[in-house]
Amino acid sequence: MCVSEGGEVTLNSADPLQQANINLNYFNNDLDIIAIREGIRFAYDVLKNGEGFKDIVEGEYPWEMPLDDDEAMKRTVLDRSQTSFHPCGTARLSKNVQQGVVDPSLKVHGIKNLRVIDASVIPVIPDCRIQNSVYMVAEKGADAIKREHGDLYR
């Protein structure tokens, strides 16, 4: 599952050891629920009635799905949905502070000598494994640091 609108991470306390408040913003838009609900109905229809499946699918797994009741489907979707995406973008890259946290050289807007070089700068969850994107961000960050501090890297 991938949300259609971004979530947020906010501080819970001034104590850096306290867990932050994380709102992934799942199902903030009713279209998210409708898309998942109708996708489930379509998949069940293919499995129960489609050639090659209807003779081998014996029941609903791992739980029964209330396919004929929109409200019950909504509750089931809300109770059982999860993501396999690796969230990112909590310190998103942007040219200005109104739209993000770090500039193109990965420096935090308005703070000297602080960079963020991890998945949090990626503004949109990639449609692939995030690992390669993180490698790219790390390479870009390392290059920027070496370029600005060439005297330290000979």
Q: What are the residue ranges spanned by the domains of the chain?
A: 1-84, 86-152
Give pLDDT, residue 3: 59
- Is 58 in a helix, a strand, or coil? coil
**Known catalytic residues?**
86
Residue 135's Cα: distance from chain center in Å? 18
pLDDT, tens digit, for every residue of 17-50? 999 898 878 888 888 889 999 999 999 899 888 8
pLDDT of 134 above 90: yes
Give pLDDT, residue 98: 86
Give the HSE-up count for residue 139: Cα atoms under 13 Å, Cβ half-sphere: 6
Q: How far apart are CA 66 and CA 16, in angstroms?
A: 44
Q: What φ, ψ does residue 107 adopt, rounded to 5°?
A: -85, 140
pLDDT, tens digit, for every residue of 63-86? 788 999 999 999 998 888 877 777
Calculate the alpha carbon distances from 113 to 66, 108, 110, 131 in Å. Answer: 55, 8, 10, 26
pLDDT of 141 above 80: yes
Calculate the alpha carbon distances from 81 to 37, 42, 94, 125, 137 in Å. Answer: 11, 17, 31, 18, 30
Among residues 138, 151, 104, 147, which one has the least CA distance to residue 123?
Answer: 104
**Inter-residue contact 124 to 94 (CB < 8 Å):** no
Mean pLDDT, the chain, rounded, equals 87
Q: How far apart are CA 146 and CA 40, in angstroms?
A: 50
